[in-house]
Structure 1
Amino acid sequence: MSHPPFRQGGMLARLRDRRLVGAPDRAQTVAYGASAFPANLMLQTFSAFVVFFYVDHLGVPAGWVAAAMVAHGILNALLNPLVGAASDRHRTPWGRRVPWIVLGIVPLVVAFALVWMPPATTPAVLVVWFLVVVAMFDVAYVAVVLNVSALFPEIFRTTAERARGNSPRQLFALVGMILGTAGAPLLYDSIGWAWMGVALAVVCAGFFAWSLAGMVERDADDAARARESTVGLRDQLRYTFANRAFVTYVVGSLLLQSTTAVLLAGVPFYVKYTVGGADADSTLMLAPIFVAAIPAIWGWSWVVRRLGPRTTMLAVVAVYGLATCLYLLPTTVLGAGAAGLAVGLGVAGLMQVLEVTLGQVIDDDERRTGLRREGMYFGANGFVVRGAVVVQAVVVAGVLAASGYVEGATAQAPEVATGVRLLLGGVPVVLAALAFVCFWLYPLRSAASAPVPAAAP
């Protein structure tokens, strides 16, 4: 006689009833961290090459693609607080975060593959295809990645724990970024854009499946959960954006994300038109950034445990901004790669300290309100920082237009090379300087967060 799948002691029941007590073990930490690989692989491939693919390869006018990217950025921004608030308010037997993650994985990887598989048609239809497929990608990406991120300050409860636990996670993220930005040109150059999308989608699905082993939530105080469920979206947004610590953090984060987005989107143009390389040479320019960042992740982990999030953030922003100025100098692909070694130090710092700092903001909010609102804070953060896509699209399109870039032309005016050089070596340092001011004003000055009390039994 068969038994119901949710019987006591059954496999699904054990999965459903998993709860984390104390610090996560090494296997859980590594499995949770593995989720950063597919998240960054897809995001960085999209951010670095989607404009280049649709403008330079498919011949869609740059202004049309810029408008489509603005629409993508607006949709993604709006989805973040909506999903974050819903995730905070609704608790299921499987937890608050895990159901979103499980249900979103397959739609996410399918939509990503379709981005690179447009029909052979007119530019106008290609823009419509782009808008529809990217909207699917946005919905699934937010559902999965926001909830994965919201688990980070819940699984790791102190600044020291987060700095240590974030290291393997960011290592996976770096590998994803390497394949997404430096490896993608090798793939699309050898097997084509469509098969590149399919191959990366299959790899991402496998890593997400593994990472589910580390997605373990904690037991919660039922009274606190009941209070969280009564706070509406409007009140959540009003309170979150009245939090000075969050506002200074999120504006600085937006500026830094915009810096990275502009840099990555400009790399294919920089390689082709400024230093005279082939398309595949983007790998030689991008790989040193991430290779240098791998060992630097552990160095920045040591720094944040000793100096705290704010002081470490100021150091990271200074290193990153000054390093991007080096792109004003190279005349060869190898020279640009050498500059990337310095940029990699700053990239590693941003990856290590940004979410540790947001975790500190969330802890401070819980001590003052008694509510645990990771979803709303990550959602509000996503709402703001997705504006980096808009900044990227407007800045890149504006620089190309101002320098005389012509879509699909076999040769470009000399001013294009100069404009793209300033895009990578001038714009980022200005944005980083503004971010430095924001984090100077960040009010949480303690070196570490005190442990958040465990939920009452």
Structure 2
Amino acid sequence: METSDKLQSPPKLTWPVKLAYGAGDLGAGLTSNLLAFSFLIFLTNVAGLEPLTAGSVLLIGKIWDAVNDPAIGILSDRTRSRWGRRYPWIVLTAIPFGVTFYLNWIVPGLTSPIALYWYYVVISVVFQIFFTTTNLPYSILTAEMTEDYDERTELTSFRLSFSLFGAVSVLALGLIVSQMVADPQRQYQILGSLGGVISIAAIFWCVLGTFPYYKRQAAYRGRSLNYTGNEKSSSFLQQIKTVFSNRPFLFVVGIYMCSWLALQITATIIPFYVTFWMGADNYFLAALLVQGTAIFMMAICNLLAKRIGKKGLYFLGSGIWVIVQIALFFLQPGQLSFLYGLCIAASFGVATAYVVPWSILPDVIELDELNTGQRREGVFYAFMTLLQKMGLAIGIFLVSLALQTSGFVKAAAEQPESALLAIRFFMGPVPLVLVLCGMVLAYFYPITKASHTETLLKLAERRKQESP
């Protein structure tokens, strides 16, 4: 295996590198957020699908992702090139990622409801494939750019701040476009095209800004760009089995799934809650307040994590989030000022739900390397990316199922009491229970800063012994 001349001092993680790295997640945040907030209401009120039919569009794609995401993770682990294991995947699939995102937001003019349904299923599946091939290898870079416990939290904060910035940007664009363009179909076409172009540009900024640092980091560690720990290879099923035998990873999976599913259910129901229960004309403002404020909360999360630890941060943010969800259930129509205040308060919980699970994942990967001798970032990040997309799809499907069974009328300005109760229930109690489950799992999460430091020392000693 090709090796690099080892540098005497570690490369400096500069602001331009941090910004470029963070920019890589702008497109993922933008596309995921527009899908989370608007895809269901677009499919029902613009494309004309029934709620349950519309909700199944993304869910079908996730059945494929259960194979696609781990497979891409393993393939990127095994990729060999002069640009390393991850960058070829990111560069070659960035443009298809942006183009297929745009295709989700057009109404193709098909007269058959079945044909229209399968158009969205196929486009959704293809888009999710390119989402994985671009964003999974990018996400793995967190574990490869630094081994420092606090630097990883910082990089995660930059990454997720850009993710939230992308999420907020598309909501702000939605607010502007909806006021300037009267035709809803045209509104979503414009948002889809802007989202695709911005995503592609941000991904190439990330590549150009981080690759030189990535090469220097590999040289400092005395590794090639294709470093894998050792050269032993195991089958797909063996790697899956090993991943799920990692007890701390199971806690990370549970924490992330609870938090992310709570977030996605809330995001999906907000347009219906704001429009049909609260009586507001535009749902983009409420969504914008939640995630816009969360960007600033990221910096606070980074500081608090150093003082009270990642677990303490998660408890604090989730506790505030629980209070907000209770209040939203009891909020009455027309109390818009209270609604917007609760949206701002919820942003801190949203920020911790983003930061904490992703910042503790690299620590789990190091423990796996200590136990197995292999670097399997791709497999671990594949499952986290799969959970992210599953959370979005399940959230949309559950909301669509609730709307369908409660008598929601897609073309009506006023909804029956049963539909309004279902909307409130998914705005309050359902996310609340999920957040509480995440807090229980976080309480029992076993890796601490001290135990992670011990893991790194043992790894450093092993690498020293293995080096020629």
Per the normalisation by structure 1, the TM-score is: 0.89
Share of identical aligned residues, percent?
Answer: 24
Mapped pair 1:337 → 2:328: no
Aligned to 1:111: 100
- 1:299 to partner: Cα distance: 1.4
The one-letter code of the counterpart of 2:13 is P
Unaligned runs of 5+ in 1: 1-16
Aligned to 1:120: 109
Q: 1:247 to 1:232 in 2, by over 3 A?
A: same
The one-letter code of the counterpart of 2:287 is L
Aligned to 2:184: none
Alignment map for 1:186-197 (pairs within 5 Å): 186-188=176-178, 190-191=180-181, 192-197=187-192
Per the normalisation by structure 2, the TM-score is: 0.87
Q: 1:159 to 1:259 in 2, by over 3 A?
A: same
Q: 1:420 aligns with which of 419, 423, 433?
A: 423
Q: 1:203 to 1:224 in 2, by over 3 A?
A: closer
CA distance in structure 1 between the partners assigned to 2:227 and 2:165 by the alignment: 38
Q: 1:321 to 1:397 in 2, by over 3 A?
A: same
Structure 1 segments of 4 or more deviating over 6 A? none
Aligned to 2:250: 247
In 2, are the aligned partners of 1:150 and 1:374 still within 8 Å (CA)?
A: yes
- 1:416 to partner: Cα distance: 2.1
Q: 1:349 to 1:90 in 2, by over 3 A?
A: same
Aligned residue for 1:92, secondary structure, equals: coil
Aligned to 2:210: 214
Per-residue CA shift, 1:151-199, capped at 9, x if unaligned? 0121132221112233332322221111234532432553421122112
Aligned to 1:302: 303
Mapped pair 1:102 → 2:91: yes
The one-letter code of the counterpart of 2:398 is V
Per-residue CA shift, 1:223-242, capped at 9, x if unaligned? 96384561221111000001
- 1:379 to partner: Cα distance: 0.7
- 1:134 to partner: Cα distance: 1.0
Aligned to 1:12: none
CA distance in structure 1 between the partners assigned to 2:392 and 2:287 by the alignment: 19
CA distance in structure 2 between the partners assigned to 1:269 and 1:259 by the alignment: 16
Instruction: Return 286-295 or 101-110, whichever deviates more.
Output: 286-295
CA distance in structure 1 between the partners assigned to 2:177 and 2:365 by the alignment: 40
CA distance in structure 1 between the partners assigned to 2:162 and 2:115 by the alignment: 37
CA distance in structure 2 between the partners assigned to 1:404 and 1:328 by the alignment: 20
Alignment map for 1:355-374 (pairs within 5 Å): 355-374=358-377
In 1, are the aligned partners of 2:55 and 2:401 still within 8 Å (CA)?
A: no
Q: 1:23 to 1:75 in 2, by over 3 A?
A: farther
Per-residue CA shift, 1:123-152, capped at 9, x if unaligned? 222211101111111111001111111001
The one-letter code of the counterpart of 2:297 is A
Q: 2:170 aligns with which of 171, 176, 180?
A: 180
Aligned to 2:197: 202
The one-letter code of the counterpart of 1:112 is F
Instruction: Return 123-132 or 96-105, whichever deviates more.
Output: 123-132
- 1:31 to partner: Cα distance: 0.6
Aligned residue for 2:449, secondary structure, equals: coil
The one-letter code of the counterpart of 1:338 is G
Q: 1:228 to 1:321 in 2, by over 3 A?
A: farther
How much is the aligned-residue C-alpha RMSD, in angstroms? Answer: 2.5
The one-letter code of the counterpart of 2:325 is T
CA distance in structure 2 between the partners assigned to 1:448 and 1:265 by the alignment: 38
In 1, are the aligned partners of 2:27 and 2:198 still within 8 Å (CA)?
A: yes
In 2, are the aligned partners of 1:289 and 1:343 still within 8 Å (CA)?
A: yes
The one-letter code of the counterpart of 1:84 is G
Mapped pair 1:283 → 2:284: yes
Mapped pair 1:36 → 2:25: yes
Q: 2:62 aligns with which of 45, 54, 73?
A: 73
CA distance in structure 2 between the partners assigned to 1:125 and 1:334 by the alignment: 43
- 1:117 to partner: Cα distance: 1.4
Q: 1:27 aligns with which of 5, 8, 16?
A: 16
Aligned to 1:316: 317
Counting matched residue pairs gives: 439
CA distance in structure 1 between the partners assigned to 2:366 and 2:200 by the alignment: 32
CA distance in structure 2 between the partners assigned to 1:397 and 1:373 by the alignment: 37
CA distance in structure 2 between the partners assigned to 1:291 and 1:226 by the alignment: 40
CA distance in structure 2 between the partners assigned to 1:177 and 1:304 by the alignment: 23
CA distance in structure 2 between the partners assigned to 1:384 and 1:26 by the alignment: 30
Instruction: Return 228-237 or 81-90, whichever deviates more.
Output: 228-237
Q: 1:229 to 1:94 in 2, by over 3 A?
A: farther
Mapped pair 1:398 → 2:401: yes
Per-residue CA shift, 1:96-145, capped at 9, x if unaligned? 00000001100000000111113122322221110111111111100111
Q: 1:72 to 1:301 in 2, by over 3 A?
A: same
CA distance in structure 1 between the partners assigned to 2:65 and 2:337 by the alignment: 36
The one-letter code of the counterpart of 1:205 is I
The one-letter code of the counterpart of 2:292 is V
The one-letter code of the counterpart of 1:306 is R
Q: 1:448 to 1:263 in 2, by over 3 A?
A: farther
In 1, are the aligned partners of 2:324 and 2:342 still within 8 Å (CA)?
A: yes
Aligned to 1:143: 133
- 1:251 to partner: Cα distance: 1.6
Q: 1:167 aligns with which of 147, 157, 165?
A: 157
